[in-house]
Amino acid sequence: MVRTKKVRTPLIAGNWKMHNAREQTRQLIGELKPLIDGLSDVEVCVCPPFTVLAVASETIGDAEISLGAQNVFWEEKGAWTSQISADMLLDVGCRYAILGHSETRGRFGKVDDLLAGRLHYFGERDDTINIKARVCLAKGLTPIICCGETIDERQAGKTDDIISSQIRACLDGLTPDQIETLVIAYEPVWAIGTGEVCGSDEANRVCRLIRQTVRDNFGTDAGNGVRILYGGSMNDKNAEELLEQSEIDGGLIGGAALKADSFATICKAASFAAWNFYI
């Protein structure tokens, strides 16, 4: 049996969403560090809330864990109440920033009646994501750009059109070299927080569509180099099957990132999947 390393290093990024205060942050990262110590051929990242980024950075120390933020604003400073700049994130040790998550776009997979009437408060769009991506890349912060379709769009047969349109708009004006360094996360909105998961074949198909869209618009090198994550309810039970797919270069993990053992299991699955096996 021959093992051949894949071209792209898998990335497992844990999106903590609105969870964990300081002590919980110390505990979770403290539990995670020994579980992934010495793990090779995979990059591990945690994306806590803004309020605990500093604590997370201190707790990570010299461990092989990258730090990411859940959003960023495009201005450096000024009268922008509630916003946070790329420079601020870099100062606290961030390497990544999630842009355009379905929840910041107001495209939730499952909502209650009270939230349904307030979705207009979540106003992220493809053009604002594009502006943020430009700023991140200029500052040396790597964007994780999210795309994905709702259940209504999928049932109407619009998945491919929606995904391709989002990718073209979010990457508009970027250079092929810039695109080759960033990360794209496919998150089928209907599979976020619902327990539903795309079949691995379908997830891989959409990730292949994303890669081909990048190739068609920005060239072969950009398409081959960009890492594409799957972000729809990946967990320790289904990660191995998803990560074995040829076009899936890792995962943007939600609920499973809040438990050190579950998150570590996904990281180990990604490390194993970083190698192709030939008989």
Q: How far apart are CA 12 and CA 29, in angstroms?
A: 14
Contact 242/206 with Cβ under 8 angstroms? no
Q: Is residue 187 flagged as an active site residue?
A: yes
What is residue 112's predicted lDDT score, i.e. its pLDDT? 79
Q: List the catalytic residue out of 153, 180, 187, 247.
A: 187
Q: List the catalytic residue out of 101, 103, 124, 247.
A: 101
Higher pLDDT, 44 or 275: 44
Q: How far apart are CA 262 and CA 258, in angstroms?
A: 8
What is residue 2's predicted lDDT score, i.e. its pLDDT? 57
11 beta partners: 43, 250
Mean pLDDT throughout 59-78? 98
Q: How far apart are CA 272 and CA 16, in angstroms?
A: 24
| Token couple for 163 | 């995904």
What is residue 35's predicted lDDT score, i.e. its pLDDT? 98
Q: What dihedral do alpha carbons 25, 261, 238, 162 form, nearest 10°?
A: 10
Mean pLDDT throughout 235-262? 96
The topology (CATH level 3) of 2-278 is TIM Barrel (3.20.20)
Burial class (CB in 10 A: 0-12, 13-18, 19+), 173: exposed
Q: Is residue 120 flagged as an active site residue?
A: no
β-pairing, 142-147 with 96-99?
Answer: parallel
Q: Does residue 194 surpass a pLDDT of 70?
A: no
What is residue 237's predicted lDDT score, i.e. its pLDDT? 96
Q: How far apart are CA 95 and CA 73, in angstroms?
A: 15
Collapse the DSSP code of 108 into the 3-class scheme (helix H, G, I; strand E, B; otherwise coil) and give the result: coil
For the stretch 124-181, pLDDT in tens is: 999 999 999 999 999 999 999 999 999 889 989 999 999 999 999 999 999 999 999 9
For the stretch 83-131, pLDDT in tens is: 999 999 999 999 999 999 999 999 888 777 778 888 878 889 999 999 9
Q: How far apart are CA 97 and CA 92, in angstroms?
A: 13
Contact 3/228 with Cβ under 8 angstroms? no
Q: How confident is the model at residue 195 (pLDDT cuts 50, 70, 90)?
A: low
Residue 119 per-residue DSSP state: G
For the stretch 232-245, pLDDT in tens is: 889 999 999 999 99
What is residue 256's predicted lDDT score, i.e. its pLDDT? 96
What is residue 279's predicted lDDT score, i.e. its pLDDT? 43
Sign of CA dihedral 80, 86, 87, 92: positive
Instruction: Compute the C-alpha angle 135/141/147, nearest 5°.
Output: 75
For the stretch 202-230, pLDDT in tens is: 999 999 999 999 999 999 999 999 999 99
Q: How confident is the model at residue 192 (pLDDT cuts 50, 70, 90)?
A: confident
What is residue 108's predicted lDDT score, i.e. its pLDDT? 87
Q: How far apart are the first and last CA of the chain?
A: 5
Integer CA distances (angstroms), 153 to 95, 107, 156, 159, 247, in order: 33, 11, 5, 6, 23
Place of tokens 């074949």: 201
Residue 256 per-residue DSSP state: G
What is residue 205's predicted lDDT score, i.e. its pLDDT? 97
